[in-house]
Amino acid sequence: MAITFLFCLFLARFFYIQVIWQDDLNARALDQWTREIPISAGRGNIYDTNGELLAGNTAAYSIFARANAVTDAEGGSLLLSEALGLSYDDILGKLTDKSHSEIVVAKRVDKSVVQRIEGAEIAGVYYARDDVRFYPYRQLACQVLGFTSYDGSGSTGLEQYYNNFLAGERGEILFETDLVGVDLDGAAAAYIPATDGMSLTLTLDYRIQSVSEQVMEAALKEYNAKAARAIVLDVTDFSVLSMVNLPSYDLNDIPRDDLSALNRLSRNALVSDVYEPGSTFKIVTAAADIEEYLQGNAAAYAPNRIFSSARTRTVDGTTIRCWSDHANGKHSNQTLAEALNNSCNPCFVDIALSLGKETFYDYLAAFQFGRATGLDFSGEAIGMLLPESTLRDCDFARIGFGQTIAVTPLQLACASAAAVNGGRYYAPRLVKEIVDSDGAVIEQTSPVLLSQPIGEEASEMLTSMLEGVVRDGSGKKAYIEGYRVAGKTGTAQKYEDGRIAQGKYVSSFVGCFPASDPRYLALVIVDEPQGAYYGSTVAAPCAKQIFEGIIDIFDLPPVEE
């Protein structure tokens, strides 16, 4: 019985080693009897929508050493230290360190240096290509593109989000060696080719991005602002045409030794940060009101219905005031269009309270507030929307004019685009297609309709009113003769530690053109401008300049009235 048991145990062990453990043992044997020279995969390029290179590669090399195969450590260290400009002692330590099978001597070395080392034929020292990421436009769209780590892996932005596509798969050259890692004479090398990464074609247009950055850079300096941001969307499908976050940094000179600065400068605040939008949010409130009116809701304010001319509204004992003193008949006998022109807060309090929490929150959900937009980008915030069940009437009233709610700039831009494009809310996107190294399209993105918060008629009525804001109201500085711009200004106070921060404002403008058939939408935000701070003064002119840049780029003719 004991013999039978031992025999069965021996058979089980034999089966485990020969079958179960086979792959692992083969891998260990291969590692012991071979020396591997890694072959880096070429990282995929990133192009703008026109095929302009935004992120590519420049040739560089890494130098490796296998101490067991080094025959002249002193001589090799001397040559390497001279060629690489590194410490002789440090290199000697690496060439004689037999505790590691392979050691990196230097990374990202120029080809001329490699040629010098290659000509010396130092035993146990070899090299492999290790490309360096290169960004031809330096700081352009830096927070969107992102950057790679020292090992070439995506760290932030699209470089990180699409890393699995961009990275490719490393190859190897295998040389047979003896037990101590010395190459065997006459042994053949095995070559496992690398698979290059795929390339991305973005929806970004580098020309619109450049114009937007120039405009916002000028505003940042003129108003000595804390930050200046802008986003441009194609309202027909929510393709992102430009994203600007200033201050910015040079992608070819990343401040890796100052993590605080790097985290601040590399953050795409248009996607990741939230703020109280202020009066630009009145677009959403007006859209809900117009749609409810068209649906026959008697609580909605009809386009010709007159709002109370009183300067204040009192809700739950809280007094809400208009920015204007309403003296000498100002803001009296206002219709919805005039309330938008004048940016009169009490009128939008009336709308929110008339529609009620349940109805208004249904529209907020349809406009995707309180959730991610679905952009192909990491770190998107969902905003801050108080639960309907816990909302006090005074807080709800403030949502009507853009307070007591926090949104990302991207959320506001997308909601505004849906409000003027016929009521269609698409998932915004940054990548148009993914192409392999042979040029074959592997994946092509298409517009994804998420919701339809309002109908065509409501959208047309609203856009016409917003055109009046630019033609006759607070948005006059965004007016462009012959191009029918529509939009809304915003001037929001900032809060710190739950209190209003005196003298700190966010100036903004969101607008589109042509109003007759909207195609381009821009949201402009200037954070903490000094001196002037009204959105009508600070932000609206920036949107005008961005739109004029687009007109020049595409040579767009004026729109007939």
Q: Give the residue numbers marked as catalytic.
A: 279
3-state secondary structure of 240: strand
Which 3-state string (H, E, C) describes 209-239? Answer: HHHHHHHHHHHHHHCCCCEEEEEEEECCCCE
Q: How far is the C-alpha of 508 from the C-alpha of 494, rounded, in Å?
A: 13
Q: Nearest to residue 37, comparing CAs of 163, 198, 150, 177?
A: 177
- Please give the Cα distance from 373 to 27 (Å, whole number): 46
3-state secondary structure 430-467: CEEEEECCCCCEEEECCCCEEECCCCHHHHHHHHHHHH
* E strand intervals along 235-278: 239-246
**H/E element, 171:** strand 171-176
Residue 49 near residue 202 (C-beta atoms within 8 A): yes
The alpha carbon of residue 148 and the mean position of all alpha carbons in its chain are separated, in whole angstroms, by 15
The answer for residues whose C-beta is within 8 angstroms of residue 48's C-beta and 6 or more apart is 54, 201, 202, 204, 205, 206, 209
Task: Judge whether 538 and 529 are in contact, CB under 8 Å.
Answer: yes
- Rounded distance, CA 190 to CA 483, Å? 65
Q: In the structure encoding, which two tokens stand for residue 366, read together?
A: 């349809």
Supply angle C-alpha 434, 439, 441, rounded to 5: 40
